[in-house]
Structure 1
Amino acid sequence: MTRHFLRDDDITPAEQSEILDLAAELKKDRWADKSLAGPKTVAVIFDKSSTRTRVSFAVGIADLGGSPLIISTANSQLGGKETPADTARVLERQVAAIVWRTYAQAGLEEISKGTTVPVVNALSDDFHPCQLLADLLTIREHKGELKGLTLSFFGDGASNMAHSYVLAGVTAGMHVRVASPEDYAPREDIVADADRIAAQTGGSVTLLTDPLEAAAGADVIVTDTWVSMGKEEEKLARLRDLGQYKVTQETMSVADSEAIFIHCLPADRGYEVDAEVIDGPQSVIWDEAENRLHAQKALLVWLLRQG
């Protein structure tokens, strides 16, 4: 059966750990796996602009012996004259996998139905699961075992990043705190899904409005841009609503003394996080950015092995 990775809970806790183990192995020996030798081609489709996703997938596919085919929807029929399902039927006869950075989660779900090659969510409005694999790899490198750690997210709790932290975090057995205004809380159905997973893994999800309460004793402090692509017209309102959730030196001082700071980037310095935190000794954002490469290579290898 073809496996897809459309949201963080498409993999079990054991599978998540397996992918992270493989990522660590591939990081140690970057050229060890040639699952895409041929070269096989992977279609990497972009509706949204990108730096880290584009580079890490293109380089990673090449590392695995394959050829990345970068497609812009602005220069293709996808989303115009052709449905995602029809595009998938064309691509699956020529490529080994499909990676799509898009807006609506529904498009990813449609393109995956009946498709005989793996489909990977490289970002949607609802989730960013590839980023979370990289983040978990980074946290594991710096903190050791993931299970039992407390991760605190600050800002827009209804964002794709917050949703993925909630799901991926509890899948790893972590305690995830989301600090946000009530109007920016994570979707109830996603929290419910996370609670079901947490009951099996020993993790938890806690929604808070007090940022310092959320930071207290945390092992990992994380935030994301307050103004995601497609929401630029909301910038002033978001800066007003989310201002107290900026990650500052005070935030870090309340967290565990050995806490680390992560951010998926790009960061709006001075808005959701102070530059002193980004450039400070507890920041591991550059390791995190590099780990997109290793985590996504591991994901592709793992998905191809499932077929």
Structure 2
Amino acid sequence: MLINLADDLKTKEQHGIPHRFMSGKHIALIFEKQSTRTRSAFTVAATKLGANVEYLNKNDIQLGSKESVEDTAKVLGSMFDGIAYRGSEQATVETLGAHADVPIWNALTDDWHPTQMLADFLTIKEHLGTYKGKTITFVGDGRNNVAHSLLVTGAILGANVHILAPESLQPALSVQKLAHDIAKNSGSKLLVTSDREDGMYGSDVVYTDVWVSMGEEDALEERFQLLSDYQVNQELMDMSGSTETIFLHCLPAIHDTATDAGKLAYEKFGVNGMEVTDDVFRGPASKVFDQAENRMHTIKALLAVTCGNVH
């Protein structure tokens, strides 16, 4: 439903049709981690829907330090109509949800990244016509929140999901079990493997993420050694067996030396890209900037349904 609504709202925006379903509403964005796309998407989506937005970073409030998460939830819930939270602990967003008495949106935790999934599957639908029965292959660090979310969301939506990762970086067994249990009803086919040919063959979508997540920068050298065989380059893309395979990345991407991280990778390892090469990132298969724009359209749908007057 949310993906279809996002598609509809995107069309409305392109044709200048008003859809201010949140006029007079006020939402809070609690962001304890850096953000480009998620913060921008929430801000622009809410504003276009007619809501007012207040941004609260970790230095603005005393969440968990001098004031408990429960107390903060009750205070903010009495003032705002909805709260987005981005931080490390899944328990924090769940505690906010239990005590705020208003919608709470998970804008990313170490465990899950649900709003990213909405944009991903809208993008797949736009470019492939459907996501049902399509095979989405995540390549790289399979333990992270994007890989976990993709495995479970694909199972819910009837898409096939491959996780191609070295054995030491494969999804948590609890997440794999959850996804397989869901897939029994949806018919999704799930595969977790370290074998590149097995993982890539039949892929309609190839998806990757940075090799070093926020807070793990000290592990760059170790991660490069583990993942260098899992770089998304043209050779890997060709293993899908199709010329119609698309490439996705939740961004930011280390695909050249235009960033400090890219320069460091070049200095340390002599490479011009980490998880993806520049020719793939900029090539015709890449839909990463459509995917990034769709963060806003899908979050707009989420806000409208949970906090707006859509009907």
Length-normalised TM-score, structure 1: 0.91
Shift of 1:304: 2.5
Inter-partner Cα distance in structure 2 for 1:119 and 1:205: 30
Instruction: Choose the corresponding residue for 1:74, options 53, 59, 65.
Output: 59
Choose 1 or 2 for highest CA Rg: 2
SS at match of 1:117: coil
Q: Please say if residues 230 and 275 of structure 2, whose CA atoms lie closer than 8 Å, have aligned partners that are also in contact.
A: yes
SS at match of 1:147: coil
Which moved further from structure 2: 250-259 or 143-152? 250-259
1:265 and 2:268 aligned: no
Matches within 5 A, 1:1-307: 18-30=1-13, 32-38=18-24, 40-255=25-240, 256-269=242-255, 270-304=273-307
Deviating beyond 6 angstroms after TM superposition, the runs of 4 or more aligned structure 1 residues are none
Q: Please say if residues 29 and 56 of structure 2, whose CA atoms lie closer than 8 Å, have aligned partners that are also in contact.
A: yes
Shift of 1:305: 6.0
> 5+ unaligned residues in a row in structure 2: which ranges?
256-272
What's the % identity of the aligned pairs?
41
Aligned to 1:3: none
RMSD: 1.4
How many residues are aligned here? 289
Q: Please say if residues 22 and 308 of structure 2, whose CA atoms lie closer than 8 Å, have aligned partners that are also in contact.
A: no
Q: In structure 1, give the amino acid aligned to 2:2.
A: I
> 5+ unaligned residues in a row in structure 1: which ranges?
1-17
Q: Please say if residues 101 and 124 of structure 1, whose CA atoms lie closer than 8 Å, have aligned partners that are also in contact.
A: yes
Q: In structure 1, give the amino acid aligned to 2:294.
A: N
Q: Deviations over 1:233-290 (max 9, x none)?
A: 1111111111111000011112222010000000011100001000000000010000
Q: In structure 2, give the amino acid aligned to 1:24.
A: D
Q: Please say if residues 154 and 211 of structure 1, whose CA atoms lie closer than 8 Å, have aligned partners that are also in contact.
A: no
Shift of 1:295: 0.3
Aligned to 1:13: none
Shift of 1:170: 1.2
Which moved further from structure 2: 230-239 or 296-305? 296-305
Inter-partner Cα distance in structure 2 for 1:58 and 1:305: 15
Inter-partner Cα distance in structure 2 for 1:129 and 1:280: 27
